[in-house]
Amino acid sequence: MRPALLDLDLLWVTGKGGVGKTTTAAALAEVAARHGRRTLVCEMDAKGALANAFDAGTLAFNPTMVAPGLDAMAMNTEDALREYLRLFVRIPFIGRIGPLAKTFDFVADAAPGVREILGVGKLCYEVRERTYDLIVVDAEASGHIVSQIGAPKVIADLVQVGLVRDQTQWMLDILNDPTRTGVAVVTTPEEMPVTETIDLLGRLTAETGAHPSAVIANRVLPVLFSRREQRIADRLDETLPILTNAAGSGVATVLDAARLTEQRRQTGAGHLDRLRGFLDSAPDLATDLPIITIPELFSRASGPRVVSLVADALTDELDPSTYADEATDEGAGR
């Protein structure tokens, strides 16, 4: 069995834009903190979505406590470069690094992986130093995660000897160890997110060396009716005039809404079945890769409230015993 998500040292969370990646990363970090793990959650693109999730104002490179046992930060290339030079090259800096940062930008634009490796290196350094029990990364979207997490491998392939090679090798030792580092791919039960998830899972380990630890299916609609209730619902049209006379015209509206919701659920379940079929047939993926589900919350809440709701939903799902039962859990809203 692969380790449970919260037992890892470093967990990358990615997914197609709009699937709830940032909220899921924040919720995973909150669950870890609830379980007593010193946790850091880091936003890699620094767009402010993670700060909004915790209602924490503006996050910076230096971590900010957002809950007991939980710190949050936003990656910044200049600060990461400054820290790298201080820690590994032993160059102290006071104030902004100005011209050096501009030179770095020029080099980074010309060489693949240079900019990304600073952010990855910062996270791997925190893992190596055991500053936190778990680091959850609100990573780039699935279309860009391969270049982000694969930066050390790209550099190692380009540079075979010397200081740069040595600096990337210890990162690769952390990133490529499935007992320490994992990738959780967030999707929704829709065609394009599932297709993008399948594509990423097929490329991830081969192109980056990192291993998927879970797929998280977000906004999964619940089953409205049991099989017996569904048979009854299918025959309600025969008695609709009687029901309308007894309860009013709203009965037809409710019935139409229920049927539309069930149709959406069945369509979504079909997409998740396609995902399961890929996992079952992919020779390079372990058969114990779980699909963890987060139900549709039917809530207008935002910020910390929705993060806590998702964390509540994840708590039971993150129990490893849930994974074994998942494939046979009929009618679980998938």
- CATH assignment at residue 39: 3.40.50.300
Which tokens hold the place of 141? Answer: 């979207």
Whether 229 is in a domain gets the answer no
What is the number of structural domains in the chain? 1
Whether 250 is in a domain gets the answer no
Q: What is the pLDDT of residue 112?
A: 53
User: Which regions of the chain are under pLDDT 50?
Assistant: 1, 94, 103, 106-108, 110, 322-334
Q: Measured on CA atoms in the order 134, 139, 141, 142, is the torsion positive or negative?
A: negative
Whether 72 is in a domain gets the answer yes
- 74 within 8 A of 89, measured Cβ to Cβ: no
Whether 244 is in a domain gets the answer no
Whether 317 is in a domain gets the answer yes
Helix (H, G, I), strand (E, B) or coil at 264: helix
Q: How many CB atoms lie within 10 A of CB 145?
A: 24
Q: How many angstroms separate the CA atoms of 221 and 235, rounded?
A: 23
Which tokens hold the place of 171? Answer: 């990162």
Whether 237 is in a domain gets the answer no
Q: What is the pLDDT of residue 242?
A: 64
**Residue 213 structural domain:** 5-222+286-326
For the chain, the helix, strand and coil percentages under 3-state DSSP, each to the nearest 5: 55, 15, 30
Indicate the helix (H) or strand (E) that contains 71: strand 70-74
Whether 60 is in a domain gets the answer yes
Q: How many angstroms separate the CA atoms of 290 and 286, rounded?
A: 10
Q: What is the pLDDT of residue 248?
A: 63
Q: What is the pLDDT of residue 296?
A: 94
Tell me the backbone φ, ψ of residue 70, rounded to 5 degrees. -130, 120
- What is the rounded radius of gyration, in angstroms, for the C-alpha atoms of the chain? 23
Question: Which one-letter amino acid corresponds to residue 291?
Answer: I
Strand 70-74, strand 64-67: pairing: antiparallel
Helix (H, G, I), strand (E, B) or coil at 82: helix
Q: How many angstroms separate the CA atoms of 201 and 284, rounded?
A: 9
Whether 239 is in a domain gets the answer no
Helix (H, G, I), strand (E, B) or coil at 305: helix
CA nearest neighbour of 141 among 152, 149, 129, 131: 149
C-alpha dihedral over 26, 28, 31, 36, to 10 degrees? -100
Q: How many angstroms separate the CA atoms of 2 and 281, rounded?
A: 18
Indicate the helix (H) or strand (E) that contains 41: strand 39-43
Of the chain, the end-to-end C-alpha distance in Å amounts to: 23
What is the DSSP code string of 145-190? HHHHHTHHHHHHHH--SSHHHHHHHHHHHHHT-TTTEEEEEEE-SS
